[in-house]
Structure 1
């Protein structure tokens, strides 16, 4: 039954990635992998060393007095994020329009739409970047606008039968309309969406029960795969939730007190579905290390250290994880499995929930060990979750390797 379903998924995945927009988008992802690796390791250095509450200075009991340098690196890494997205948009535009216009029999210079979509992505950076906290980058928004822009260029070329001069007034007017429309759209995006914080929403009682947490675990990889930024309340700002504060107050009053909200996003989701990134992708990284494909093993090696510290961006561009049915299914299964296992052990009283704050950069792999009142039980449960996630990912990793062998 499982083998039959997996084979159907593989066939669907092959058909899906052969669609021209998807095929050219994946090609663009592949071309920016070296830059994505540099970007990820720069983020890692900031997260572990230069952040004011980073884990390395906290462990070594040192204080790095380089506030100006930390701010400069923060701005640099944020700019790099948007630049990477702009390069994807530009490369995708070039590859897609070359193929599409060639099929239509038009000989056009794609430089203008490439520049327009590169500027479109950079405009997104100017519109959404904030110094106070990390902006939430919604990949889907930029890629959707890029695709609409590409379609408008194709239809304009078809309507004029490709006779307009490449950089003539008509195309320049088209570019001006596109950029003005996009700039207006970006200015209308609510700041809450840009910041990716929904504290009041995740503080609802619905997220203090296993079914609410299981549903969130199920949906989170889907949103990530579609290019939406994951709310910071599930990652870096989980300790700000009202349930977590109520639990911490109870612990301060009595060390082993009965907690009012034992199951909450911090005690369940942050410690289980984000090990290595959304969908517990540290398990996928481990699987890649044992494949025969040299490219996939190398990808696993490059992504191993970032995955330990919960970044899966290298995998997201390298496999890719974005818009890929074959990687979405195990991500959903692994995340839901992790949330249910953690909820079960908390429910039966074997595991005490995570209640304490930890230094910035603490990997989710060790979060429950440092933040729970039962650290050794917590690390055993984390091991069970990671082992189960590896078993879930393994047949899909083999399927990806087999699929690449026939490309």
Structure 2
């Protein structure tokens, strides 16, 4: 039964990859992987050493007097994030238009639409970036406007039968319209959306029950698959939720008090569904280390340390995880499995929920150990979740490698 279902999923994945927009997008993703690796490790250095309440200085009680360097590193990594998006948009435009216009029999210089796509990604960054949250990047928005821009260029070329001069006034007017529309659209995006902060929403009573956690665990990988930014309330700002504050107040009044909200996003999702990033992708990085193909092992090696600290950006571009059916299914299964197991152990009283704040950069792998009143039990359950997630990912990863070896995935 499982084998037949997996075969159907692989067939669907292969058909999905043959669509020109997806095929050229994945080619653009893989082209920027070296830049992504540099970007991720710069983020990791800042996260561990230079951010306020960074992990290493907090643990070893040292103060790094490099504020100027820290501010510059933060600015550099933020700019790098959007520069990578701009490279992806530009490369995708180049690959897509080359193939599409060739199929239509037109010979055009794609430099102008490539520059427009590059500029659109940078404009998106300039209009939505805040230092409060560097991670709220909606990949779906950048790719959607890039694709619509590409389509409009193709239709304009078809309508004029390819007779317009490259970089002529008509095409320049087209570029001006595209950029003006984008600036207008970015200016009306609500700040709450651009910062991916929905504290009031995730503080609702619905997210204090196991069913709320399960539904969220299923939807998070799907949202990630579609290119939406994951709410910061489930990652870096989880301790700001009202349920977490209620639990913390109860503990301050009595050490082993009955907590009013034992199941909440911080005690369940952050500690189980997000180990290694959305979909529990630390397990995916571990699986890649044991594959036969050298490039897969190398990808797993590069992504392992960042995945320990909950960044799956290298995997997102390298496999990729975005818009890939074959990776979406195990992400949903691993996320749901970890959430259900943690909810169960909290419900039966085996595990005390996470209640305390941890230093910035503390990995979700050790979050329950650091922040729970039953640290050893929490560490054991986290280990069980990780092993189970590896078992979930393994058959999918093996099949992905097989399809890669057969030449189905370029």
TM range (shorter): over 0.9
Q: Residue 12 of structure 2 aligns with which residue?
A: 12
Q: How does 1:7-406 map to 2 (within 5 A)?
A: 7-134=7-134, 136-406=136-406
Contact 1:248–1:356, Cα closer than 8 Å, also in 2: yes
Cα offset, 1:75, TM superposition: 1.0
Contact 2:135–2:229, Cα closer than 8 Å, also in 1: no
- Alpha-carbon distance in structure 1 between the residues aligned to 2:302 and 2:130: 29
- Alpha-carbon distance in structure 2 between the residues aligned to 1:238 and 1:139: 22
Cα offset, 1:72, TM superposition: 1.3
RMSD of the alignment, in Å?
A: 0.6
- Alpha-carbon distance in structure 1 between the residues aligned to 2:212 and 2:73: 38
- Alpha-carbon distance in structure 2 between the residues aligned to 1:372 and 1:160: 66
Contact 1:262–1:353, Cα closer than 8 Å, also in 2: yes
Cα separation, partners in 2 of 1:91 and 1:74, compared to 1, 3 Å: same
Deviations 1:204-243 (A, max 9, x none): 0000000000000000000001110000000000000000
- Alpha-carbon distance in structure 2 between the residues aligned to 1:151 and 1:342: 46
Contact 1:129–1:135, Cα closer than 8 Å, also in 2: no
Contact 1:288–1:397, Cα closer than 8 Å, also in 2: yes
Q: How many residues align?
A: 407
| Secondary structure of 1:64's aligned partner | coil
Contact 1:287–1:397, Cα closer than 8 Å, also in 2: yes
Q: Which runs of 5+ in 2 are unaligned?
A: none
- Alpha-carbon distance in structure 2 between the residues aligned to 1:403 and 1:294: 15
Cα offset, 1:135, TM superposition: 5.1
Cα offset, 1:116, TM superposition: 0.2
- Alpha-carbon distance in structure 2 between the residues aligned to 1:235 and 1:131: 16
Contact 1:233–1:241, Cα closer than 8 Å, also in 2: yes
Contact 2:124–2:186, Cα closer than 8 Å, also in 1: yes
- Alpha-carbon distance in structure 2 between the residues aligned to 1:162 and 1:195: 42
- Alpha-carbon distance in structure 1 between the residues aligned to 2:369 and 2:130: 33
- Alpha-carbon distance in structure 2 between the residues aligned to 1:233 and 1:77: 22
Q: Which runs of 5+ in 1 are unaligned?
A: none
- Alpha-carbon distance in structure 1 between the residues aligned to 2:76 and 2:128: 15
- Alpha-carbon distance in structure 2 between the residues aligned to 1:321 and 1:346: 31
- Alpha-carbon distance in structure 2 between the residues aligned to 1:299 and 1:12: 24
- Alpha-carbon distance in structure 1 between the residues aligned to 2:308 and 2:37: 15
Deviations 1:130-156 (A, max 9, x none): 134435100000000000000000000
| Secondary structure of 1:364's aligned partner | coil
Runs of 4 or more above 3 Å deviation: none
| Secondary structure of 2:366's aligned partner | helix
Cα offset, 1:71, TM superposition: 1.4
- Alpha-carbon distance in structure 2 between the residues aligned to 1:239 and 1:356: 8
